[in-house]
Structure 1
Amino acid sequence: MHRAVRCMVPGQPDMAARPILVVGNANLDVIIGHLDQWPERGTESFFAHGDLRVGGSAANTALVLQRLGARSGLVSARGDDFAGEAIGRAFDGPLDRVATRAGATGFTIGLLHPDSERTFLSSLGHLGDLDADFFCTELDGLPLDGTLVMLSGGFAMPALMKGHRALQDWLRARGAEIAIDPGWPDGDWTPDERTLARDWIAGCDHLLVNDKEAAALAGTDDAESATATLAPWLDAEATLVIKRGAKGATGHSNGRTLHASAVPAQPVDTVGAGDSFNAGYLDALARGMPLHERLKHAVAVAGEVIAEFPRTSSPLGTTPESVPA
């Protein structure tokens, strides 16, 4: 049996697909590497790779959705400096809502390591006071009924943490389908942060976390056992997705667990790999594709993005129709 597909040009909006809104953090990313050990204090080091670009979990996902031709937008904020101006230029579409806040734009230094791992050092800047009321104000007036809404980077916005579930409920009451990727809390997981995250998980339709986040949340050593712990925390019809890097991705829904292998890639810059995966997943979901095809499309998109350096804004060649069955 063959599924009918729509042909489309990468980067061109597919108007038959559902709209997608990405809600969360946008900041400046400073990427350098590769770093195998911390430099001696008081010295200077030079690196072969360096990039200065718009970033943040939500913005990374929204940028890749642009490149995929999704009907999408970013709901976020920026500071009133040069970095904020760059964010504003990147998101000026009909579904984008990026408010200007007084003060410096937050930024993240991403350190690339030779084993494809990365480490982040961040300054919150304008992100420090973005709360649920701010996002409700910015979302008001946007089409929400039937829209896919991705809440991304909740732990990067301290003022949002207590109101995160209230924002989810506000969106659901307006007909939105909710996906979340909470990110990693400052430092490490505390009992309070696990309790918050569990409340968020119970109020979403799609949970997308990487293998380390899944294990930390579940208190287990590996992604396989984390699935058994986390799945009951979700609504019966919700979907759990665990991003596993070079091992691909695992999805669990309606009592079934599926796996998609990673596409062979030569990773150069893995900053935003999970955010790119999220974009591929949402893109396929917006087009009505089943879970296994969403996973395959997501790992293919992430593989294409992390092989780039520096990042570009050109259309991506990976489409759901181009991923092997």
Structure 2
Amino acid sequence: MNELDQKGVLCVGRVYCDLVFAGLPHMPKLGEEVYAESFSAHAGGGAYITAAYLAAAEQPTDLCAFLPHGPIGSFVQNDLNKSGISKTYTEEADASWGTQLTVAMALNDDRAFLTRRGGAPIPDSFDRAINDPTIQHLHIAELATLLEAPTILERAKQAGLTISLDCAWDESAMDAGHVRELIGEVDLFLPNLSEFRRVFDVAGEIEFFTSEMSNWATKVIVKRGADGATLFHKAYHISAPALPCAIVDPTGAGDAFNAGFITAWLRGKSDQEALAEGNRFAASSISSIGGATGAAMIKKTGS
């Protein structure tokens, strides 16, 4: 890899234990029970999953997060130890915060989540991390993390880092009055289509929103599932189709897309090439159960 490829990425956000139920006949309803064909437990959360795919693409990657403790935490630690992600800036969560976990229910090409958060969003090691000379880019995995710790933007900018931000579905975060102002401070914003519509209060065909997005210096990359992805930047938009593949579990596909796009962007690729890489990483994710399991495919095939 050349010098450009060596830009280190710091992923910040909450780390969860994902309990993944796949092969559901339909989503459960109150008062009823459904049976899944498979179950597995994995390290999860956007910060970890994106970091795992970045590491698989040989992008130097650090995780800045609290790690779960106890029996649940062992799943997270085992996956993290195998991922190639640096744990230099991770800290163990306080036991009094309780367990951070997500129940993910995968149905065909979509999924639903039930999540429990707890404790602080970012450890004190953040300031040491952003001043690490090997780190040049900050990825914030959840909009809620930014709202809980808004000063991380200015601190990262003062350290000379470029910044990307995922959304993650959180109604209170997306509806916050100053959320667009914060989004305007990052280099890349990567919501899925539902999140994009909620944050920007838009409806209709996505391609018609070029004029509405023309005043944004931030590149807005909208993840559209089976319809691929669309990028808005100032007065133009471009799209790239999804790659055909068998859908096993869509959990974490958006986080994998983030890693593909960020890797290409940091390496000076065009927007079209970055969208294509994002879609390639997403296809690897949905082809296996567990948000970061498909990272092994990226590592095997190369970045």
Q: TM-score, normalised by structure 1?
A: 0.81
Structure 2 partner of 1:11: none
Deviation of 1:28 (Å): 0.3
Please tell me whether residue 181 in structure 1 is matched to residue 166 in structure 2.
Answer: yes
CA change 1:154–1:189 in 2 (3 A) is closer
Tell me whether 1:111 sits opposite 2:71 in the alignment.
no
Structure 1 residue 76 displacement after superposition: 0.9
Distance 1:201 1:221, change over 3 A: same
Aligned to 2:156: 171
Q: Residues 138, 61 of structure 1: CA spacing in aligned structure 2 closer, same or farther, 3 A cutoff?
A: same
Is the 2:68–2:76 Cα contact (8 Å) retained in structure 1?
no
Q: CA deviation at 1:301?
A: 1.1
The answer to whether the Cα contact below 8 Å between 2:190 and 2:222 also exists between their aligned partners in 1 is yes
SS of 1:279's equivalent in the other structure is helix
Letter in 1 for 2:56: R
The CA distance in 2 between the partners of 1:40 and 1:167, in whole Å, is: 40
Q: How many residues align?
A: 293
- Do residues 199 (structure 1) and 199 (structure 2) align? no
The change in CA–CA distance for 1:196 and 1:84 in structure 2 (over 3 A counts) is: farther
| 116-125 or 45-54, which deviates more | 45-54
**Separation in 2, partners of 1:201, 1:252:** 14
Q: Partner residue of 2:115? A: 122
User: What code does the residue aligned with 1:129 have?
Assistant: A
Question: Following superposition of structure 1 onto structure 2, how do residues 248-259 of structure 1 map, counting pairs within 5 Å?
Answer: 248-259=228-239
1:313 to 1:188, Cα distance in 2 relative to 1, 3 A:
closer
Shift in alpha-carbon separation, 1:22–1:228, aligned structure 2, 3 A: farther
Verify: 1:266 aligned to 2:246, yes or no. Answer: yes
Give 1:15 shift. Answer: 8.0
Deviation per residue, 1:100-146 (Å, 9 max, x gap)? 121233000011113x1111100113xx3225x7463452542366x
Q: Provide the identity percentage.
A: 22
Gapped runs of 5+ residues in structure 1?
A: 1-5, 8-13, 321-325
**Partner SS for 1:129:** coil
- Asked whether the equivalents of residues 12 and 140 of structure 2 are also in contact (C-alpha less than 8 Å), the reply is yes
1:229 equivalent in alignment to 2:212: yes
1:25 maps to what in 2?
Answer: 14
Q: Report if the CA contact (8 A) 2:227-2:241 is conserved.
A: yes
Q: Is the 8 A contact 2:245 2:287 kept in 1?
A: yes
Equivalent residue for 1:83, pick from 59, 72, 76: 72
In structure 2, C-alpha distance between the alignment counterparts of 1:268 and 1:174, rounded to whole Å: 40
State the match for 1:277 in structure 2: 257
What is the CA distance between 1:285 and its match in structure 2? 1.4
Residue 72 of structure 1 deviates from its aligned partner by 1.3
| Partner residue in 2 for 1:98 | 90
In the aligned structure 2, how far is the partner of 1:180 from the partner of 1:293? 19
Query: Structure 1 stretch 255-264 or stretch 303-312: which is displaced more?
Result: 303-312
Distance 1:100 1:319 in 2: 32
| CA drift at 1:50 | 1.7
Structure-2 separation of matches of 1:40 and 1:205:
42
Which consecutive residues of structure 2, in runs of 5 or more, have no partner in the other structure? none
The 3 A distance-change label for structure 1 pair 32 and 78 is: same
What's the TM-score once normalised by structure 2's chain length? 0.86
For 2:257, the aligned partner's letter is F
SS at 1:299's partner residue?
helix
Q: Which has the higher contact order (CA 8 A, sep 6+)?
A: 2
* Residues 148-167 of structure 1 mapped to structure 2, 5 A cutoff: 148-155=137-144, 157=145, 161-164=147-150, 166-167=151-152
Residue 65 of structure 2 aligns to a residue in which SS? Answer: strand
- Is the 1:276–1:305 contact (alpha carbons within 8 Å) kept by the matching residues of 2? yes
Q: Classify 1:188/1:75 alpha carbon distance in 2 versus 1 (closer, same or farther; 3 Å).
A: closer
Cα distance in 2 between the residues matched to 1:227 and 1:243: 16
Q: Is the 8 A contact 2:213 2:232 kept in 1?
A: no
Rounded Cα–Cα distance in structure 2 between residues aligned with 1:38 and 1:94? 38
**1:13-37 CA deviation, whole Å, 9 max, x = no partner?**
x984321111112110011033314
